[in-house]
């Protein structure tokens, strides 16, 4: 087989493997290692990751009688890849035991591998590891330039794919950060109005279908302007964060507290009647009173709207407007909160409503 036809076969096979995205990276890499073993007529194929003095086997293809697996870790200085990385390029050795330079290398004494071909892998200019193939048997022919070309083609795809996967993870992390920014309040680290709305829409839609019940409450820090004026905005921010933490600490996994705006919080208690809301609200008021930021205890006023769908008319033509239900419940709770403020603050006013 000519060098040209050999290279064409490598390129064609590599193209087939790298375009099989549906198989996933692990399977693609396994096929690539198998292709290398066939191409070089060797027994062991490895993608390694090197960090400091540690040589980690990330992926490997080996015969059944070779006890090597992904996750195995070795001393980098005692590996053939140490030679490859120092050379900063491809290395090929047909018969290690007969090589004056490498016969005394610790890797040869430790593993007894006679033939080896490998290349360093780099990500963003930094050493990542190596792609290498080896065998305990001497290589019966000389590695040729076309073999190095094939190795470099395989290494190039791996480097590009590793960078792509790294960028994909970074993008996922960035998207999650953007989601947090979009749906959460940065000061209190609880949902903002946008995040709150998503939860309420989902939960109230569920309650409407099962004829369930729930309670929505608005919690407002009393005399918050005076607190800011007396202690400064930094203390005011600390108070907001502490109040959010106190409210959130005693809730069930499926309850919700969100920052509604300014010094006001929204509390959502699905599957909870008015009596349950009163119990939770009293505990919250007591716990907030224990916050040690100001000379006088911090107090809150709470207005709530408890509602259920049991009395909803069973007309098939009736469709519920979930957003209107949310707005109505908030309005009712807000009126109750206004009454709590008007009656002297530091108190709870509860109401009931049916949809």
Token pair 């047909």 in the structure block, residue: 94
Evaluate whether 30 touches 18 at the Cβ level (below 8 Å). Answer: no
- Residue 3 — very low, low, confident or very high, per pLDDT cuts 50/70/90? low
Report yes or no on whether pTM surpasses 0.85: no
**247 CB burial (10 A radius; 0-12, 13-18, 19+):** buried
The answer to whether 159 is a known catalytic residue is: no
Exactly one of 31, 114, 159, 263 is catalytic; which is it?
A: 263
pLDDT of residue 313: 46
**345 CB burial (10 A radius; 0-12, 13-18, 19+):** middle
* Residue, of 23 and 126, whose pLDDT is higher: 126
Mean pLDDT of the chain: 89
pLDDT digits (tens, 9 = 90+) for 174-221: 888 887 788 999 999 999 999 999 999 999 999 988 989 999 999 999
* Residue, of 160 and 7, whose pLDDT is higher: 160
pLDDT beyond 60 at 314? no
């Amino acid at each position: 087989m000519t060098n040209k036809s050999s290279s064409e076969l490598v390129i064609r096979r590599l193209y087939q493997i790298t375009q099989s995205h549906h198989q996933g990276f692990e399977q693609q890499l396994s096929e690539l290692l198998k292709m290398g073993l066939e191409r070089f007529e060797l027994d062991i194929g490895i993608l390694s990751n090197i960090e400091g003095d540690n040589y980690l086997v990330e992926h490997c293809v080996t015969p059944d009688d070779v006890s090597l697996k992904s996750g195995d870790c070795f001393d980098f200085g005692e590996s053939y890849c140490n030679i490859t990385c120092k050379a900063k390029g491809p290395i090929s050795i047909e018969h290690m035991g007969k090589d004056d330079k490498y016969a005394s290398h610790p890797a040869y004494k430790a593993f007894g591998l006679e033939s080896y071909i490998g290349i360093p892998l780099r990500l963003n200019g930094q050493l990542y590891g190596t792609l290498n193939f080896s065998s305990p048997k001497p290589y019966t022919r000389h590695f040729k330039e076309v073999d190095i070309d094939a190795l470099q083609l395989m290494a190039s795809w791996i480097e590009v794919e590793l960078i792509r996967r790294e960028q994909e993870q970074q993008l996922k992390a960035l998207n999650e950060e953007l989601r947090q920014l979009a749906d959460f309040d940065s000061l209190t680290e609880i949902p903002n109005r946008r995040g709150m709305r998503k939860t309420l829409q989902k939960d109230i839609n569920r309650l409407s279908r099962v004829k369930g019940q729930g309670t929505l409450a608005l919690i407002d820090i009393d005399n918050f302007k005076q607190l800011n004026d007396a202690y400064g905005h930094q203390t005011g921010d600390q108070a907001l964060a502490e109040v959010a933490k106190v409210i959130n600490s005693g809730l069930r996994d499926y309850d919700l507290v969100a920052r509604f705006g300014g010094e006001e919080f929204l509390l959502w208690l699905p599957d909870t009647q008015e009596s349950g809301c009163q119990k939770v609200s009293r505990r919250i008021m007591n716990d907030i009173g224990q916050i040690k930021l100001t000379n006088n205890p911090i107090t809150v006023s709470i207005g709530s709207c408890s509602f259920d769908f049991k009395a909803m008319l069973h007309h098939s033509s009736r469709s519920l407007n979930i957003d209107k239900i949310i707005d109505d419940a908030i309005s009712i709770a807000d009126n109750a909160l206004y009454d709590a403020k008007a009656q002297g603050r530091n108190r709870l006013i509860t109401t009931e409503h049916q949809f």
